[in-house]
Structure 1
Amino acid sequence: MYNLVMKDLKLGIQPIFFFMPVMLGMLMLIPSWIYFIVPMYFFWISVPGIFGNFKAQHDLMFTTMMPVTKQDMVKARILVIVILELLHIGFAVIFGLIHDLLYAYINLDIMYYFFAPTMGFWGLCMVIMAIFNIFFITIYYKTAYKFGGALATGVIAAMLFAGIAQWLGIQLTSVSDVFNAHIADHIGLHASILVAGIAIYAAFTFVAYRIAAKRFLEVELL
C-alpha cells in the first residue's frame, strides 16, 4: 500500500496541489471573512483537478497491473485524500493563528459577522470534510472511474452543512456569542466541538472506506 500512496503523491498529483493548501491558507489573514470557504477550496479545486488527472492518465488501468489488492487500492487512495485534506486544514489553522496574533499585536478589534477561526470552528471544518468524504468516496467507488456525480453530491452535502451552520451563527445570538463574541468564556465547549469534529471525521472516513472497498470489489476491471 505504501507504494500506491507514493505513486499518487509523486506521479499522480501535480505539484501545484501541494502548494494550494499554503496559498489558500493565506486567505485566513483576511479580517472577518467567510472562513468556511478556505477548506472548501479543497473539493472545489483540488479534487476535480486531481481526479481528472487520474482519469486522463488511465491511472486505474495502470494500478490494476500492479500486484496489489482492490482493498489496498481503495485504502491508499483514501489515505492520499486524507493527507491532502489535513494539509488544507493544517495550513488554514496555522494562518488562523497568525491572523489572531497579527491583529492582536496591532490592536485591531475585529467584529466577526461570520464564524471566527476558533477551535470550535476547526471542529466544524472537520465535519465538513467528513461529510464530503462519506458521499464522495462511497459514490466514486461504484465505478472508481467516473467522479463527476460523486463530487457534486459530496460538495452539495458539505456546503449544505456549512451553510446551515453559518446561518445559525448569524441568526441565533447564542451561537454567535459562543463562536464570535465571548470565545474565552466557552473554551471548554470549543475544545469539545473540536474533539467531536475530529472523531466524526475519523468515523465517517473509516465508514467510507469500508463501503467503498466493498463496492470496488464488485467493479469489473478490464
Structure 2
Amino acid sequence: MYNLLLKEVRLGVNPFFFVLPLITGALMLVPGWLYFIVPLYFCMITIPNIFGGYKSQNDLMFTSMLPVNKKNVVQAKVLLIVLLEVLHVVTAMIYGKISLSLYPHLHYIFFKPTPGFWGLTLVMLALFNLFFISMYFKTAYKYGAATLVASTVAVLFAVEAEWLGIQNQFVSDLFKGSGSTDGLTHYSILFTGVLIFAAFTFIAYRIAYQRFKKVEV
C-alpha cells in the first residue's frame, strides 16, 4: 500500500499541487478576507486537476495492471486526498497565525482565523470528502459530477457558517469578538472538527470501496 501511495505522489500528482498551498495560503494575509475561500481552492482547483490528470493518463487501467487489490487502490487515493488537505490546512493555519499577529486590532466581518475556525474548515472538508470520494468511486473514472456536488456542499456549508456568524450574536462574538480569545472553547471546536473529518472520511472510504468492488476495469 505504501508503494501505491508513493506511485500516486510521484506519478499521479504534478509537483505544483504540493506547492499550491503555499500560494493559496498566502491569501490568509489579506486582512479581514473571507478565509473559507482558501481551503475551497483545494476543492475547486486541486481535486479536478489531479483527477482530470488521472483520466487523461488512463490511470485506472495502469493501476489495474499492478499487483494490488481494489481495497489498496481506494486507500491510496483517499490517503492522497487527506495528505493534500492536511497540507493545505496546516499551511493556511501558519499564514493565519501570522495574519493575527500583523493585524491584532482588526475588526472582522467574516470569521477570524482562530483554532475554532479551522475546526469548521475541517468539517467543511469532511463533507467534501464524503460526497466526492463516495461518488467518484462509482466509476473511478468520472470526476466531474462528484467534484461539482462535493464543492457545492462545501460552499453551502461555508456560506451558512458565515451567515450564522453575521446574524447570530453568540456565534459572532465567539468567532470574531471577545470570545475569539477563549482558547478552551476554540480548541474544543478544532478537536471536534478533527474527529468529524476522520469519521466522515472513513465513511466515505468504506462506501467508495464497496462501490469500487463492482467496477469492471
Aligned with 1:175 (options 168, 171, 178) = 171
> Paired residue for 1:199?
195
Are residues 122 and 28 of structure 1, via their aligned partners in 2, closer, same or farther at CA, if it must alter by over 3 Å? same
Amino acid of the structure 1 residue aligned with 2:28? M
CA deviation map 1:176-221 (0-9, x unaligned): 1000011355322211110110000000000111110011001111
1:4: how far off?
Answer: 1.1
For residue 3 of structure 1, what is the aligned residue in structure 2?
3
**What corresponds to 2:55 in structure 1?**
55
Is the 2:114–2:180 Cα contact (8 Å) retained in structure 1?
no
What is the TM-score normalised by the length of structure 1? 0.96
Q: Percent identity?
A: 53
User: Which sections of structure 2, spanning at least 5 residues, go unmatched?
Assistant: none
Matched, 1:73 2:83: no
Dislocated runs of 4+, deviation >3 Å: none
Supply the distance in 1 between the matched residues of 2:216 and 2:9 (Cα, whole angstroms): 26
Residue equivalent to 1:165: 161
Q: Which residue of 2 aligns with 1:121?
A: 117
Alignment of 1:1-222 (within 5 A): 1-104=1-104, 109-183=105-179, 186-221=182-217
Task: Give per-residue Cα distances to partners, 1:13-44, cap 9 Å, x unaligned.
Answer: 11111111011000000100000000010011
Equivalent position amino acid for 1:159 in 2: V
How many residues are paired up?
A: 217
Separation (CA, whole Å) in 1 of partners of 2:146 and 2:208: 12
Per the normalisation by structure 2, the TM-score is 0.98
CA distance in 2, matches of 1:73, 1:197: 27
Alpha-carbon distance in 2 for matches of 1:49, 1:59: 14
- Root mean square deviation of aligned Cα: 0.9
